[in-house]
Amino acid sequence: MALTVKGRATRQRIIEGAAAYLRSDDPAGVTLDDIRAITGTSKGQIFHYFPDGKEELFLAVARYEADRVLDDQQPHLGALTSWAAWDRWRDAVVARYRAQGRNCPLGALMGQVGSTPGANEVVTALLNRWQFHVQEGIVEMQETGLVRASIDPDRVAAAFIAGIQGGVQVLRSTGGVAHLEAALDTLVDYLKS
């Protein structure tokens, strides 16, 4: 399938339109017809650009959303070299998810797509990149002596990822960011102690 400039634009329009729609509404009941209407396209186009249909489209949207997750944390996440930087990062994460509210785009997508290999791969790749950045930050803090050397950067970075994921999970049920904040603050506190 060779795409022209126009074709790429349409494909992208479908992805972004679908992403926006899935972000606002409950994705459980989202149909291809909804997406068709929202993006001002037709069934023909959707299957032209995503031959495997719904699953392929949703996976493309998931990849798109996954990229945004890390983008929204930059530049803080990439330079966790001082306590001030950690605080800014913490605030960025909390702000992002507070704004997002109950509608976690990726979470909802995953609930939809289920546990296909492709879906797991998208999530795993995101979590790996995320954790890597946190780990890098911890290592750098250790090198400058701000964090004691006895802690295991990989392990604590994993704990951060788990804490954030869980905080967001709770947010999806309760609507509050208290757990997310508690997890982040407690772990940062742990690094400082």
Site string for a second copy, 120-159 (x = CB under 8 A): x--xx--x---------------------------xx-xx
From the list DNA, a second copy, none, pick the one residue 185 interacts with, judged by a Cβ distance below 5 to 8 Å according to partner type.
a second copy
Chain residues 24-83 in contact with DNA, contact rule CB under 7 A: 29-33, 40-45, 47-48, 53-55
DSSP the chain: ----HHHHHHHHHHHHHHHHHHHHS-GGG--HHHHHHHHT--HHHHHHH-TTTHHHHHHHHHHHHHHHHHHTTTTGGG---SHHHHHHHHHHHHHHHHHHTT--HHHHHHHHH-S-HHHHHHHHHHHHHHHHHHHHHHHHHHHTTSS-TTS-HHHHHHHHHHHHHHHHHHHHHH---HHHHHHHHHHHHHHH-
170 binds a second copy (CB under 8 A): yes
Beta carbon nearer to DNA, 8 or 155: 8
Query: What is the contact surface with a second copy in residues (CB under 8 A)?
Result: 26, 28-29, 102, 110-112, 114-115, 120, 123-124, 127, 155-156, 158-159, 161-170, 172-174, 178-180, 182-183, 185-187, 189-190, 193
